[in-house]
């Protein structure tokens, strides 16, 4: 999957569903199974696990990838299984009071990225993938590249966050200076096409993640030492913890 330039998130998701498929079939090797086992698995996800339509479709895509690209035994084109009819959850917008209370209970080091999500209407992954150069202070805008549906868009930047973001960029700059002096540092991760078109970009400040991890790590797709962005689970856990401490009804936060 990495050789085909799949994102880490897609790789993790596919591995999760492939593993579940194998466990569901009592750890029988996929090469010894086929359409019938896949159909029973997908039906199980719909009938017993009550998965939403999108989640069942993702599981199907993962197993199709397994058989087509790895087992080299493509599944039939007309699989017969019970399709999920569970509707996706409707998002619940926090009230103004709930939002204020939530912000008051956020940890200081994660307050800015979460406020930026709220103020600019960003998804978690969109916020995490922001680069320093994606902030336009002149027009109070944030550029989102390849967001949901691989679409690019420009959203509003709340003026109240400008001083905080400038300070955040100064923090990124300090990390960057330290990284550049490290001979093991291979630059920030860039999509394959951009990495080839701009080979020097990975070691330029503008391309560094706006919310970097505090530690260098090994890029699983290349085994190179890089500084990735904050982990998605860190943000989600912080929001849930803040919601609990602010005594916001749990069904608001998912």
The residue extents of the domains of the chain are: 2-70, 96-245
Cα dihedral: 226, 229, 234, 235 (round 10): 180
End-to-end Cα separation, the chain, in angstroms:
29
Specify the pLDDT at position 127: 96
Q: Which residues contact 50 (CB under 8 A, 6 or more apart)?
A: 84, 86
Is residue 86 classed as helix, strand or coil in its secondary structure? strand
Element (H, E) at 226: strand 225-226
CA 231 to CA 236: how far, in whole Å? 9
The CATH-assigned architecture of domain 96-245 is: Orthogonal Bundle (1.10)
Q: Which residue has the tokens 């709220």?
A: 118
CATH code for the part of the protein at 2-70: 1.10.150.130
Output the tens digit of pLDDT for each of the chain's 254 residues. Answer: 888 878 778 899 999 999 999 999 999 999 999 999 999 999 999 999 989 899 999 999 999 999 999 999 999 988 999 888 877 677 778 889 999 999 999 999 999 999 999 999 999 999 999 999 999 999 999 999 877 666 889 999 999 999 999 999 999 999 999 999 999 999 999 987 888 899 999 999 999 999 999 999 999 878 999 999 999 999 999 999 999 999 987 554 44
Cβ burial, residue 43 (10 Å; 0-12/13-18/19+): middle
Specify the pLDDT at position 149: 64
């Amino acid at each position: 999957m990495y050789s085909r330039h799949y994102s880490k998130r897609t790789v993790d998701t596919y591995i999760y569903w492939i593993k579940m498929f194998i466990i569901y079939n009592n750890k029988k090797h996929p090469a010894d199974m086929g359409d019938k086992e896949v159909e029973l698995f997908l039906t199980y996800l719909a009938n017993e696990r009550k998965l939403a339509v999108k989640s069942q479709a993702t599981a199907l895509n993962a197993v199709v990838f397994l058989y087509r690209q790895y087992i080299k035994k493509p599944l039939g084109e007309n699989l017969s299984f019970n399709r999920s009819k569970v509707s996706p959850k409707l998002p619940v917008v926090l009230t103004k009071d709930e939002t204020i209370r939530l912000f008051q209970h956020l940890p200081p080091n994660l307050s800015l990225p979460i406020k930026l999500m709220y103020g600019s209407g960003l998804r978690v992954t969109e916020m995490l993938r922001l680069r320093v150069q994606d902030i336009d202070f002149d027009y109070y805008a944030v550029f989102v590249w390849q967001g949901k549906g691989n679409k690019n868009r420009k959203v509003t930047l709340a003026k109240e966050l400008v001083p905080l973001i400038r300070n955040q960029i100064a923090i990124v700059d300090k990390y960057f200076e330290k990284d550049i002096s490290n001979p093991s540092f291979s630059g920030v991760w860039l999509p394959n096409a951009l990495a080839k078109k701009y080979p020097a970009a990975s070691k330029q400040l503008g391309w560094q993640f706006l919310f970097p991890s505090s530690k260098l790590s090994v890029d699983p797709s290349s085994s190179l030492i890089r500084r990735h962005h904050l982990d998605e689970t860190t943000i989600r856990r912080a929001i849930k913890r803040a919601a609990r401490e602010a005594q916001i009804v749990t069904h608001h936060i998912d």
